A and B are shown apart, each in its own frame.
Chain A
Amino acid sequence: MTGWLLASVALGGAWTRDQGEVYTKAAVDVYGASRVRVAGELEDSDGRYLGTQVSTYGEVGLSKGHPVQATASVPLVVGAHRTQIYDVFGELPVRATTVRMGDLRLGLQTALLPTAPEAPVALAGELKLPLYANGRVGSSLPTYAELFPRPGDGNIDGTAWLLGGASRGAWFVEGGAGYLRRTEWFIGWDPEGVAYEDGGVARAKVGWRAGPVLLIGAVDAVWAWRPGPTTREALTWSLSGWVELSDHWALEPRVATETWVRNASQGTSGGLGLSWRTR
């Protein structure tokens, strides 16, 4: 599991769509990491992790007058762990690859101040539902099951967000903070002794538009109120672009790097998305 997958993705931002407005995106992201932080110490991991995530994301406005929007994200995760096993002869390099659906994230958002489009405030809720059972990851080869990357923590989480934004001319800023409720409700898996801590989430974004191009810098933080040996935490910085191709289509490149993690690998990702929206 990587810090890369921790950031909330089923989150539309402070601006809530009106009824009938739609935004969808398909994206491919590649992530690489060779370091992991366990018990507070950053160390070289036993191997390299290379992850590819193919994801679809959508937002749709549901109501008129008082905007309410629904969001959903469905990823397919291809995780490859290059490492070595130790047998009687010594070290032997191996690669264990897992292809699994990741965490389904469903969100619902409502505008709190619908009459102020330049400075919106919204309340959002997000539910993370694993579409995999970690207990079955690696089950085809029990001896080396631990080497197979898991698509995620395998549990159900819920997050409540308060979001705000403002725009002036070519610039916009956006921020949000929330409460992350981590449960020990697992899908098809009953791990012993695994306990996750609730925590906070926060996001800050700044964007600048020049003609058909929008540049966005962002920082995402996920942390636990009481850091423990299993709860994953991460601070992720990203730079993304939105390049308008037509009235409806846009290309969305993105690079991100984790500058701090706990109980997770620390790496860098890059990806490209293609989005479609109503005007």
Chain B
Amino acid sequence: MNRRGLLKLGATATLSRLLAGCERFVVIDPRVDPELSPITPIGEFYRYQVLGYPTLDPATHEHLVAHEDTALARFDRAFLQSLPARDKEHTLQCIGSSPAVQRIGNAVWTGLPLVEILHALGVSVPPEAVGLRIDGLDGYDAGLPIGDLPSLWLVWGMNGETLPLEHGAPARLLVPGRYGVKNLKWITAITFVDEPHVSFWSEAINGGWSEEASYRANTLVAHPLDGAPVDEGTVRFIGTAFAGEDAIAAVEVQLDGGPWRPATLDYAPGPGVWVLWSIDLELDRGAHEAQVRCTTEGGVTSSLEPFGTDPLGGYDGSMQVTVFA
């Protein structure tokens, strides 16, 4: 090839490269051999609220219990703290959680089942009530079927400390089996309703989140990050699997399209709490793709769609990462 031909080839290659573009992803302060703690420290527990943090004094804030427009009782933090509270380990996952935004955490909450608090207040469930409307001081609201009532908890402590404001002080709701979108913070009113309440934020009104918001089986890879460089040889993959009240029975990993291999369940206390899993994979030089799926005791397996099947219904995918050894 002559000089003109070489120049032309070079120019064409440069132009192709420019049109194709390039991109780079850098973790500014990468974590080294991170370990997942079964109980998420308060400072690392995810927080997400569409309406920001309300201004309130947890010591004087009052909670209202009502039936439609009729007030049945009011109580405050002093009343709650006078009750014999118990601990409950419970995982929360945001309905908007995804491989890119892994909003999931597990804590030991201090509080009581809501029915016990209602009993202490002398409130009986109105026989005509078909559901509950929960309101938060931030303006957020949620509807729940009356059938959820026996499983609901009101909590005012987190990991041995008084519930912090950013996690819903003075008291927040725990709703087993439903994504965080139903676990309201900064509770102002718990209202028995005679018609099902549909949240302003749900799909029925503004095309938002699923109104049902039931947890769906899903996995997340916490380490290594997607796209991360790793050393050749043995690489430990760790992550979470969760499906709400349907406990996780197995987690499996597929490397580069090979057979599914069982991961070790390092922490699997049962329904309502996440599973922490790990697996050591032997990686030779080059790019490797690993996908992680889970199966519940109820026989549900997470979707093999890495990003899930319905972003507004909650993540239900089997996360996949590509790493470069």
Contact = CB atoms under 8 A, between A and B. Distances in A.
B29 A143 contact: no
Interface stretch (A132-140, A216-224, A235-243): A132-140
A86 B23 contact: no
A195 interface: no
Contact of B28 (A94, A131, A148): A94
B23 A96 contact: yes
Nearest to A87: B102
Given A143-B99, A143-B227, A144-B226, A89 B31 contact: yes
Interface in B1-41: 18-31, 34, 36
A178 B240 CA distance: 55
Contacts of A142: 226, 306-307
Nearest to B225: A87
A248 interface: no
Given A94-B27, A96-B25, A86 B44 contact: no
A163 to B, nearest CB: 32
A89 B222 contact: yes
Contacts of B46: 86, 90
Interface residues of B, number: 38
A99 B23 CA distance: 6
Contact of B25 (A86, A88, A131, A141): A141
B134 interface: no
The interface centre, meaning the residue of A76, A92, A99, A143 with most chain B CB atoms within 10 A of its CB, is A143
Nearest to B97: A86
Nearest to B274: A88
B81 to A, nearest CB: 29
Nearest to A94: B27
Interface string B210-249: 0000000000101101110000000000011000000000
B169 interface: no
Interface in A72-113: 76, 82, 85-90, 92-101
A82 B226 CA distance: 17
A87 to B, nearest CB: 5
A59 B27 CA distance: 43
Contact of A132 (B21, B103, B227): B21
The interface centre, meaning the residue of B23, B25, B226, B239 with most chain A CB atoms within 10 A of its CB, is B23
A137 B23 contact: yes
A146 B307 CA distance: 13
B321 interface: yes
B21 A99 contact: yes
A138 to B, nearest CB: 7
A92 B226 contact: no
A88 B222 contact: yes
Contacts of B240: 88
Contact of A89 (B23, B28, B34): B34
Given A76-B18, A100-B21, A101-B18, A92 B100 contact: no
Contact of B44 (A76, A89, A141): A89
Contact of B102 (A88, A99, A141, A147): A88
A147 B227 CA distance: 13
The interface centre, meaning the residue of B18, B100, B226, B321 with most chain A CB atoms within 10 A of its CB, is B100
B147 interface: no
A88 B29 contact: no
A138 B100 CA distance: 13
Given A92-B29, A95-B26, A143-B226, A86 B101 contact: yes
Given A95-B28, A141-B227, A143-B321, A88 B21 contact: no
The interface centre, meaning the residue of B28, B30, B43, B103 with most chain A CB atoms within 10 A of its CB, is B28
B279 to A, nearest CB: 16
A99 B22 contact: yes
B104 interface: yes
A86 B47 CA distance: 10
A94 B26 CA distance: 6
A138 B23 contact: yes
A38 B44 CA distance: 28
A86 B27 contact: no
B105 to A, nearest CB: 8
Contacts of A92: 27, 29-31, 225
Nearest to A77: B21
A133 B29 CA distance: 31
Given A89-B36, A96-B25, 14 more contacts: A76-B18, A86-B101, A86-B102, A87-B102, A87-B223, A88-B222, A95-B24, A96-B23, A97-B24, A99-B23, A136-B20, A140-B25, A141-B226, A148-B25
Q: Which 10 A-B pairs have the closest CB atoms?
A: A100-B21, A143-B226, A88-B222, A90-B44, A93-B28, A141-B227, A97-B24, A87-B102, A95-B26, A143-B99
13 contacts: A86-B46, A86-B102, A87-B223, A87-B225, A88-B36, A88-B239, A96-B24, A99-B21, A99-B22, A131-B19, A132-B21, A136-B21, A142-B307
Interface of A: 76, 82, 85-90, 92-101, 131-132, 136-138, 140-144, 146-148
